[in-house]
Amino acid sequence: MKRILLTTATCDNYYLDVLKVFLVSMRLNSRCNETICADLINGTPDIYYRLKNIYENLTINHIAMPSVDWIVRENLLPLMYKRLPRMYETMNVGYDQIMTIDCDSIVRGPIDGIWDGVEPDTIKILERPSARKEKKKRFFTRFQAGIHIFGNSTNIRKYYKAFMDELGDRWEFKSGQAAIYTVYLKFKDKIRLVQMPEKYNDSTFKEDSIIWHCKFSHFAETPFQNEFKNYLTEANRLYK
């Protein structure tokens, strides 16, 4: 089974540290050596080689963009959607399972089980429990798409192409989440949806969760902040 993880990071402000923490947590805890492909914004060859000291099975796609304050939420939108065509391209180069994961994630344990149930016509994603219980379809918040996996088949490729077409150039956070669910409804008879266990995409920082997935506000929260600092110390030791 050929697998790959796709992520995106900038080399401006604090996001390089975020990527380093993600990579070192994968190295120490994931119990796998899957290829990680990172779209690196405004990086240099020197940064790439130092990142490979943290996680050897790393490839980089260099992207140049005007430098802005990436901590400003709206500035991230062009960055986030630049990776969509890259995901689609990856389906055409022989990978069986493709994970997209936000780089502000900390892998805290083995992730062997995260791939379970992902067949060629499958999308594995966290459908929020609160949304499942509600009668109205909450298109904007139905799925938590920061970490999800898809198989590789003709139907999945058609789904993903339809997703990009649905999204177009509407660079809004809610649009991306909504488009994933809207297009899924059109393809639900052709593809299979598998629920991602919350322990693999946890933004509440439960102690027994395997992946902690951060939001901007979470950096001020003690559990995430403490764990982030510990991993960053180890990452900086290797980043040379």
pLDDT of residue 92: 80
Stretch (H or E) spanning 157: helix 154-167
**Domains defined along the chain, listed by start:** 3-238 (3.90.550.10)
Q: CA 16, CA 13: separation in Å to the nearest integer?
A: 7
With CA atoms as reference, report the closest residue to 105 among 59, 148, 54: 148
Q: Are 99 and 122 in contact (CB under 8 A)?
A: no
Measured distance CA(94)–CA(97) in Å, rounded: 9
Q: What is the dihedral of CA 182, 72, 103, 88, to 10 degrees?
A: 40
Position 163 scores a pLDDT of 84
Query: Cβ neighbours of residue 130 under 8 Å, at least 6 residues apart?
Result: 141
pLDDT of res. 135 = 46
Closest by CA to 79, choosing from 88, 70, 87, is: 70
**Contact call for residues 211 and 107 (beta carbons, < 8 A):** yes
In terms of Cα–Cα distance, which of 238, 41, 17 is closest to 106?
Answer: 17
Cβ burial 128-147 (10 Å sphere, 16+ → b, else e): beebeeeeeeebeebbbbbb
pLDDT at residue 224, rounded to an integer: 87
pLDDT at 166: 77
Q: Which residues of 68-90 are buried (b: 16+ CB within 10 A; e: fewer)?
A: eebeeeeebeebebebbeebeeb
User: What pTM value is reported for the model?
Assistant: 0.89
Q: What pLDDT is attached to residue 219?
A: 64
Residue 110 CB coordination number (10 Å): 12
Mean pLDDT by 10 residues, the chain (240 residues): 87 82 96 88 88 94 72 59 73 88 93 95 84 50 83 93 76 64 90 94 94 75 87 95
Question: Which pLDDT score is estimated for 167?
Answer: 73
Dump strand ranges (E) for the chain: 3-10, 35-41, 58-63, 97-101, 105-107, 122-127, 143-150, 192-195, 211-213
Candidates 97, 7, 91, 118; CA nearest to 55 is 7
